[in-house]
A = this chain, B = another copy of it.
Amino acid sequence: MKAKYITIIDIARQLNISKSTVSRALTGHPNVKEHTRKAVMELASSMEYQRNSLALGFSKHNTNTIGIMVPEFMSTYFPSVIVGVQDVMQAAGYNVVICQQNESYESEVSNMKLLLSYRVDGIIVSHTKETRNFDHFTLAQRRGVPLVFFNRVPEDMNVPNVIVNDYEAAFQAVEHLIRIGRRRIAHLAGPESLVNTRLRRQGYLDALKKHGIAHNPDLMLSYDLTTEKVKIYMKHFLELDTPPDALFAINDPTAIAAMEVVKAKGLRIPEDIAIVGFSNDFSAGLVHPGLTTVAQPTSEIGRTAAEMLLQEMRAKVKNDYTIKKAPTVQLSTRLIIRESTVPEEKSKKMVKSK
């Protein structure tokens, strides 16, 4: 059941001219008689000629296609970054191929090889939570395929990337909790493999320190981002002799899952325990009470990463990041205060005073 496509040879035969002429007419080469060009164009369109990008990329050594690799599709974060990437890339005449890894390292390696085997011109990446070995990324670099990372950036690689101010954002979020009078602030951190985890945790620790609150190791746990674990750990927190009066969660899904546990226990949010998330997922504004969280400029992250990649791809001489510092763009976040930390009336006042 082979597909059947029209080629420039078919067109050439019908018109009794050479395929070179057809090729020239189709690509807008100046040296083609107007009459001939018109005939070619008309026949091509009536035969629904569809150019073969494989053949083209094959001989030209570039495909006008970039890949984007994201770890998951379950929150709205990555899809909206992708929309930003597509905006810019489409305008620049590039096609975007999306690969989604389901947080699996294996998928990531095989998808990377897939993209390389299809000779994409560049790749935008956020790695999985399982990724500890980065050989598949350096392989791309060695092959001269530009990479731009965002959100989850490997610490040991010198590579262009787009990030947000995770440390400050976490610091501010925790400071917000302290300002509203909380002292026993728990932190559900992410996996050690993610640089975000470490930055946000440091922000958490330093905010406590600044305000003279001793860090209680019992109130901090790293976990693997699965819902089941949140439930276990959150229950554990709540059953401590002196349970926390606030929670800073690594991301919104974590915060939302934690809220479920709190509500199931019959505790009140924010009165008994205030909760802050991270990223301002679509659902953060929908849960009850609304989730205080750190908003990330998702579509701008995507657009910025795309623009950085375009620069890399357009560079006449490949940037050698073994000898040169790779560019980093840090975008700003914004703390969104909702009812999970400040009850209704109060929160309205705070927004106004902003």
Write the residues of chain A forming the contact surface with B, with a CB cutoff of 8 angstroms: 1-5, 48, 50-55, 57-58, 61-63, 65, 73-74, 76, 79-80, 82-83, 86, 90, 95, 97-100, 102, 107, 113-114, 116-119, 121, 139, 142-146, 256, 282-283, 286-289, 313-318
Q: Which of A54, A90, A102 has the most CB of B within 10 A?
A: A54
Q: Which residue of B lies closest to A90 (CB)?
A: B107
Q: Which residue of B lies closest to A135 (CB)?
A: B48
Alpha-carbon distance A143/B49, docked complex (angstroms)? 10
Alpha-carbon distance A245/B315, docked complex (angstroms)? 62
Is the beta-carbon distance between A139 and B95 smaller than 8 angstroms? no
Report chain B residues within 8 Å CB of A97. 97-98
Report chain B residues within 8 Å CB of A65. 118
Q: Could you pull out 13 A-B pairs where Cβ atoms are within 8 angstroms?
A: A1-B144, A1-B315, A2-B61, A50-B117, A53-B117, A53-B118, A54-B57, A54-B118, A74-B76, A76-B76, A97-B97, A288-B288, A288-B289
Is the beta-carbon distance between B117 and A100 smaller than 8 angstroms? no
Is the beta-carbon distance between A144 and B50 smaller than 8 angstroms? no
Report chain B residues within 8 Å CB of A116. 50
With A3-B143, A86-B100 given, can you name 4 additional A-B contacts, CB distance below 8 Å?
A: A74-B80, A82-B100, A97-B97, A287-B288
Contact pick for A73, options B80, B143, B144, CB 8 Å: B80
A141 to B: closest C-beta gap in Å: 10
Report chain B residues within 8 Å CB of A73. 79-80, 82-83
Contact A79:B74 (CB < 8 A) given known A58-B58, A61-B3? yes
Is the beta-carbon distance between A3 and B119 smaller than 8 angstroms? yes
Is the beta-carbon distance between B5 and A51 smaller than 8 angstroms? no
Report chain B residues within 8 Å CB of A282. 74, 283
Is the beta-carbon distance between A54 and B119 smaller than 8 angstroms? yes
Q: Which residue of B lies closest to A3 (CB)?
A: B144
Is the beta-carbon distance between B102 and A83 smaller than 8 angstroms? yes
Q: Which of A119, A146, A316 has the most CB of B within 10 A?
A: A119
Is the beta-carbon distance between B318 and A1 smaller than 8 angstroms? yes
Is the beta-carbon distance between B53 and A55 smaller than 8 angstroms? no
